Amino acid sequence: MKARLIFFSLIILLTSCEDVIEIELNYMEPKLVIEGVITDSDNQCVIKLSKTADYFNKKTNPAVTDAVITLTDNKGRIVNFTEVEPGIYSEESVQAKPDINYTLTILSEGNEYEANATIPRKVNIDSLTCKYNSESIFYEVGYVVSCHFSDPGAVRNFYRLKTYNINDSTHARSSEDIYNDDMFNGNKVELAWSYDVFQQSDTVVVELYTLDAQTYEYYKTLFQISGGDEMMSTTTPANPNSNIKNGALGYFGAYTISRDTIIISPSRLSTTGNK
């Protein structure tokens, strides 16, 4: 529930002052960060390893090289990863399928890390429509794209939505649009990311990710501490809940991607859900 949204709106209203200040932070021993994702698309699995850097340090995080990474599925098949670039390990021959439990094992600098993930059943986008927004407090003038799909009632589903202009794919990276199906389980759903608007003739790509439960949990706790411009956190900050054992930061995520495109024009306007 977006209770925090309400509170932010009140505080943004009243925050007459915002300024950058100097803060001294204590030294923290660099920690290993594992960013690993397995999906059903592209038959590829990419794992990135790096170390944390000082918070106010301008340099990028150092890559961690020479790690030994293997992926095992519940049938015992093992796949080894090759380091294609410093800190980036990938494997091309992974045929990731839903409902199979994958175990990732990483051996780096004498420590072993392990994580499990299962790819969920894919939920596909049924259709895309667009809606015109005239000026209002939160939204700029333009078209908002909605994604329509049917949520399977029998299981608990978790989603992430990325909506972006085909020419600007990097912007959508930080999309925090995540959902669980508690409020709409089993229904036909319409989801829209209202904070990005598009103009007529834009080609917009919508990606509906179906996430596994641990990946949703990771993103949920990740977005509470990062991303966005005015991220004024009200919950007590802590590192996100990760499925990686033995104290590394990052996660081993699993999801499916359903992709669709729409060219904005008045003929694709949505007629449902309009108030």
Partner 1 sequence: MKKIQILFLLILFISTCEGMAQQKYTISGYIKCSETGEALTGATVIIKELNKGAMANAYGFYSITLPEGKHSVQYSYMGRISKTEDIELKGNINNNVELQQASVEIAEVVIVSEASNKNIKAPEMSVIKISPKDVVSIPVIFGEQDILKTIQLMPGVASSGEGNSGFYVRGGGADQNLIILDEAPIYSSAHLLGFFSVFNSDAIKDMEFYKGNAPANYGGRLSSVLDIQMKEGNAKKVSASGGIGLIASRLTVEAPIVKDKGSFIISGRRTYADIFLPLWHDPAAKETKLYFYDFNAKANFKINDKNRIFLSGYFGRDVFRMSDLIGFNWGNKTATLRWNHIFGNRLFLNSSLIYSDYNYGIGYNVGEVLEVTSGIKDYNLKEDFQYYINTKNTLNFGFNAISHTFRPGELNSDNEEFYNSKTIGKKHAGENAVYISHKFDLSDRLKLNYGLRYSNCIVLGPDTVHTYNGNDEITSSAFYKKGEIIKDYGILEPRLTLNYIVNNKMSVKMSYARNAQYLHLLSNSTVSLPTDIWISSSKTIKPQIADQIALGFFRNFKDNMFESSIEVYYKNFQHQIDYQNGAEIILNENVESQLVFGKGRAYGAELFIKKRTGDLTGWIGYTLSRTERSINEIDYGAWYPVKHDRTHDVSIVLMYDFNDKLKVSANWVYNTGNAVTFPGGKYVIDGVIVPAYTNRNGYRMPAYHRLDLGVTLTNKKREKFESSWNFSIYNAYARRNTYSISFRENVNDPSKTEAVRHSLFQLVPSITYNFKF
Neighbours of 260 (CB within 10 A): 18
Residue number with CB closer to partner 1 (151 or 260): 151
| 199 is a site residue for partner 1 (CB under 8 A) | no
Distance (Å, whole) CA 249 – CA 253: 13
Of the candidate residues 44, 46, 61, 126, the single one contacting partner 1 (CB under 8 A): 61
Token pair in block for residue 104: 């990732």
267 binds partner 1, rule: CB under 8 A: no
Q: How far is the CB of 220 from partner 1 (least distance, A)?
A: 6
Distances (CA, A) of 40 to 1, 95, 99, 118, 267: 30, 7, 11, 11, 33
Residue indicated by tokens 């038959």 = 43
Residue number with CB closer to partner 1 (198 or 251): 251
Contact (CB, 8 A) for 155 and 99: no
Verify binding: residue 269, partner 1, rule CB under 8 A: no
Neighbouring-strand partners of residue 190: 148
Residue 54 engages partner 1 in binding (rule: CB under 8 A): yes
Residue 78: CB minimum distance to partner 1, A: 27
Element (DSSP H or E) covering residue 155: none
Task: Give the list of residues 6+ apart from residue 26 with CB closer than 8 angstroms, or none.
Answer: none
In whole angstroms, give the CA distance from residue 177 to residue 220. Answer: 10
What residues from 216 to 235 belong to the interface with partner 1 (CB under 8 A)? Answer: 217, 220-222, 224-235
Distance (Å, rounded) from C-alpha 250 to C-alpha 219? 10
| Contact call for residue 53 and partner 1 (CB under 8 A) | yes
> By CB under 8 A, is residue 72 in contact with partner 1?
no
Closest to partner 1 by CB, 116 or 263? 116
Closest C-alpha to 176, from 231, 134, 214, 132: 231
Told to check if 200 binds partner 1 by CB under 8 A, we report no
- Residues 163-182 close enough to bind partner 1 by CB under 8 A: 170, 173-174, 182
Do residues 172 and 223 lie in contact, with contact meaning Cβ atoms separated by under 8 Å?
no
Cα separation, 140 vs 104, in Å, equals 43
Supply the minimum distance, in Å, between the C-beta of residue 175 and partner 1: 9
- 114 contacts partner 1 (rule: CB under 8 A): no
Give residues 126-155 in contact with partner 1 (rule: CB under 8 A).
136-138
* The only residue of 17, 110, 154, 271 in contact with partner 1, by rule CB under 8 A: 17
Consecutive H or E run containing 86? none
Asked if 78 interacts with partner 1 (CB under 8 A), we say no
Q: Residue 51 or residue 122: which is nearer to partner 1 going by CB?
A: 51
Please say which residue, 9 or 95, places its beta carbon nearer to partner 1: 9
116 touching partner 1, by CB under 8 A: no
Query: Is the Cβ of residue 42 or residue 97 nearer to partner 1 in the bound state?
Result: 42
**Residue 75 interacting with partner 1 (CB under 8 A):** no
CA 172 to chain centre: 9
Stretch of 3-11, 71-79, 92-100, 257-265 lying at the interface with partner 1 (CB under 8 A): 3-11
